[in-house]
Amino acid sequence: MKMFSVAHKTVFVVDHCPYMAESSRQQVECDVLTKSRAQGVIPLAPVSKSLWTCAVECSMEYCRILFDVYPKDKLVNYIVSDSEFHILNTWRREDQSTHELMSALSAVGPPNPREDPECCSILHGLVAAVEALCKITELQHEKRTALMDTAERVANRGRIICLTNAKSDTHVRMLEDCIQETISEQNKLAAGSDRLMAIQQCDLVLVHIYPQGEETLVSDRPKKEISPLLTSEVHSVRAGRHLASKLNILVQQHFDLASTTITNIPMKPTLNVCEQEEQHANTSANYDVELLHHRDAHIEFFKSGDLHMAGTSTRENGVKETMTLKWCTPRTNSIELHYCTGAYRISPTDVNSRPSSCLTNFLLNGRSVLLEQPRKSGSKVISHMLSSHGGEIFLHVLNSNRSTLEDPPSISEGCGGRVTDYRITDFGEFMRDNRLTPVAESSHNPSGKLPVERAKAQLERYTRYWPMIISQTTIFNMQAVVPLANLIVKELLTEEDLLTCQKTIYNLVDMERKSDPLPISTVGSRGKGPKRDEQYRIMWNELETLVKTHAGATDRHQRVLDCIIACRSKPPEEEERKKRGRKREEREDRTEKNGSKEAEDKSWQESERLKGLLEKEDQESEVIKDSPDSPEPLNKKPRLISEDVQPPERAKGPATLLSMWTNRITVANSRKHQEFFGRAGSVNSKFELYQHLKEENGIDTHENGKAAR
């Protein structure tokens, strides 16, 4: 992709021939400001501007808007043509201002109507414009110097805007042919010069200006390709306000600008918008101000398709569009922060009007204005904000949709499911160690690397091995490994750094000899986790993986890895001691498991024995009740005192839950009732009824309860 578009260079060629002194025939009233006129005073006659004055005013307005929105990278060269060409400024940055151009134009003066028209021609200025396009600007020179090997990527393209009074369409074609020939000649000269650049593309915009009330002799023509290097378009415009409107549209097309109209701007003293100009405290009015800015300020409207909701209106027979935004009453100070997605310089369309002046002064005093989209119903949507920074006014684009900053995503919602043990603190340290800072242009690195390349290299070293989750690492959870982990990522290790790394490794060996516990994560595992030897094996493997990723950097990095490998190779007696320790741990675990298993078996056997006894008793009772030859049941005694209840013989061994519960239920039931009188005095569980009647009749009774006659 080639740098520098056509908009980088713009050359204005304004005709200064005698016919440009002709009146535009658009009258300007000079007596409108006089409200009361004394009798006998003759009113001022209206005046009209010349074609030259209209061309200069409109071209300067074009330049003003360009300098406001693009103060650096868009350049203008202004040329006046009569009997010869007059270059009013250069491509240098200090010449890019309306003040410089107005000072130069005042020295040129108006056209001389008495000058010989045959000696004057617009061709002088057009030839000088092509020559100016071949000259290298400061920005182009900087890019060519920075890209010595690929200097062809720096393109040289530009635009010529010619304001003249053409005679006919044939005259226009003659001007186009002249420019095409001049481009070919200048490209040949630029091929053999280091101070010139060949023109790769030139856009000619020819604006034919004619007085009002006359018929135009030049027809409009859209953009047309004359040659691979030249395109041309023709605009036939009446002088006066029509010319101003046409150049306003052209500057928007040429530099990708858009229009926004701020409506309902209050102009009352209570709002302190324009106190110095408001004379009547009891009156108020709302005004509109149109602003020009880069079209990216409306990109959210174009994406969402809400242009109709934003109040888009069309002017000039469908040529010019403006977005309408309302002044929002609750204004804010610049100290308040808003979620801003873009900021673009603005330029008022009518800079000298009273509303524009009041709004500009209001913003330059440090105030900010919120702008909302006009809606017929629903809640208001604040989409933009006007504020000044460093003496320049910017239109800020506010995020009208839901902000991601309001509801940040949960840290536990990671890729692969819910993860809650991120190394958040370590990541903060990682960011602090890899912060980017401005570097002085004079600073020079002996290695010859650019600062950005050194920063990328450091970030690559720090991220070669960096686990994101606490449960996935052991060494980064150990305070003893921190010195080695911080030093091994360095590009160069000193002798002192090497000794520190070796000392850290020896400390780990001592920890393993003492069997110190390690911060091993047991997430997702059953039991007590891996054994001590397995923990240290995991730790040594991870440490070796970390050092191996940096071992090829320098010889000292390799010596750190050699130290780890040497410490991991244990002597035979150390291995024998480790083996005995493992056997002892296994025996203890086996004993603990067997003990718990025997206790469980005893408890199970006791519960089964009691269950069998209860089932046997139930069966015997059922047999006794159902048999006709079974003896009479024994007399039941009243159970009034819990001490009378003899607890069942305690089974050998620990009491089970079943026996304890059965005893408790038996005691509780014995307290709930008293035995019946009849059952208490019965014989063989039988009681004779109506005994007092038999005694009165003299009937004897027997023990079995039957009468003997």
Looking at the fold, whether 433 and 364 belong to one and the same domain comes out as no
Beta carbons of 230 and 176 less than 8 angstroms apart: yes
409 or 295: which carries more pLDDT confidence? 295
Q: Is pLDDT above 50 for 309?
A: no
Q: Is residue 355 part of a domain?
A: yes
CATH number at residue 228: 3.40.50.410
Average of per-residue pLDDT values in the chain: 79
Largest interatomic CA distance in the chain: 179
CA distances from 285 to 261, 266, 270, 505 (A): 16, 6, 12, 81
Q: Are residues 80 and 208 in the same domain?
A: yes
* pLDDT (0 to 100) of residue 452: 85
| 519 contact partners, CB below 8 Å, separation of at least 6 | 474, 477, 478
pLDDT at 373: 84
What is the mean pLDDT of the segment spanning 204-211?
94
Same domain as 264, residue 230: no
Residue 275 placed within a domain: no
- H-run or E-run covering 545: helix 532-548
Greatest mean pLDDT among 128-132, 687-691, 695-699: 128-132
| Tally of domains in the chain | 3
Is the model's pLDDT at 523 over the cut of 90? no
Contacts for 467 with CB less than 8 Å, ≥ 6 apart: 423, 473, 476
- For residues 167 and 368, give the distance between their C-alpha atoms in angstroms, rounded to a whole number: 51
SS3 call for 365: coil
Of 190-194, 454-458, 694-698, the least confident: 694-698
| Strongest mean pLDDT among 241-250, 268-277, 677-686 | 241-250
Supply the pLDDT for residue 446.
Answer: 64
pLDDT of 514 reads 87
pLDDT value at position 709? 41
- Write the DSSP assignment of 649-687 as a string of letters: PPPSSSPPHHHHHHHHHHHHHHTS----HHHHT-BTTB-
Residue 206: its pLDDT value, please? 95
pLDDT of 209 over the 60 cut: yes
Residues 454 and 505 in one domain: yes
Pairing of strands 332-333, 367-373: antiparallel
Percent of the chain exceeding pLDDT 90 equals 36
pLDDT of residue 269: 47
The CA angle 556-561-566, to the nearest 5 degrees, is 120
Number of Cβ within 10 Å of residue 185's Cβ equals: 12
Residue 322: name the closest of 365, 278, 259 by CA: 259
What pTM was computed for the model? 0.57
The verdict on residue 374 lying in a domain is yes
Whether 348 is covered by a domain: the verdict is: yes
Cα–Cα dist 7/10, whole Å: 7
Is 696 contained in some domain?
no
Cβ atoms of residues 38 and 104 within 8 Å: no
The mean per-residue pLDDT over the stretch 638-654 comes to 48
**Which of 570, 598, 633 marks a domain boundary?**
570
Q: Find the mean pLDDT for residues 623-650.
A: 45
Residue 603 lies in a domain: no
Among the ranges given (302-316, 531-545, 670-684), the one the predictor scored with the smallest mean pLDDT: 302-316
Same domain, 345 and 462: no
Name the residue with higher pLDDT: 336 or 89.
89
Q: Which helix (H) or strand (E) holds 27?
A: strand 23-28
User: E strands of 151-272, at which residues?
Assistant: 157-164, 201-210, 221-227, 230-238, 257-266
- Same domain membership, residue 357 and residue 460: no
Pairing state between β 381-389 and 367-373: antiparallel
Contact 517, 533 (CB under 8 A): no
209 and 314 share one domain: no
* pLDDT tens string 135-192: 999 888 888 888 766 667 788 999 999 999 998 999 999 999 999 999 999 999 998 8
Least confidently predicted of 170-179, 237-246, 269-278, 531-540: 269-278
For residue 322, name the pLDDT band (cuts at 50, 70, 90). Answer: confident
Average pLDDT over residues 607-634: 51
Q: Mean per-residue pLDDT for 415-444?
A: 77
Paired residues of 234 in beta bridges: 206, 221
Tell me whether residue 202 is in a domain. Answer: yes
For the residues 473-484, what does the mean pLDDT come to?
90
Start-to-end Cα distance in the chain:
140
pLDDT surpassing 70 at residue 18: yes
Question: Are 306 and 234 in a shared domain?
Answer: no
pLDDT tens profile 606-616: 656 656 655 65
For 198-219, what is the mean pLDDT?
91
pLDDT at 521: 66
Q: Evaluate if residue 706 carries a pLDDT over 50.
A: no
**Radius of gyration, CA atoms only, the chain:** 51
Shared-domain flag, residues 123 and 264: no
Own/partner contacts of 689-698, CB < 8 Å, gap of 24 or more, are none
Mean pLDDT of 51-75: 93
Cα pseudo-dihedral 335, 339, 344, 348, rounded to 10: -60
Helix, strand, coil share (%) of the chain residues, nearest 5: 40, 20, 40
Assess whether 388 and 428 both reside in one domain. no
Residue 616 belongs to some domain of the structure: no
Identify the residue with better confidence: 203 or 515: 203
Range of the domain at 200: 9-29+45-255
pLDDT at 381: 81
* Confidence band for 628, pLDDT divided at 50, 70 and 90: very low
Q: Are 367 and 513 contained in the same domain?
A: no
Average pLDDT over residues 424-438: 88
pLDDT grade for 273, boundaries at 50, 70 and 90:
very low
Whether residue 627 is predicted with pLDDT greater than 50 in this model: the reply is no
Residue pLDDT, tens place only, 178-203: 999 999 999 999 988 888 999 999 99
Identify whether residues 236 and 264 lie together within a single domain.
no
Confidence label for 37 from pLDDT (cuts 50, 70 and 90): low
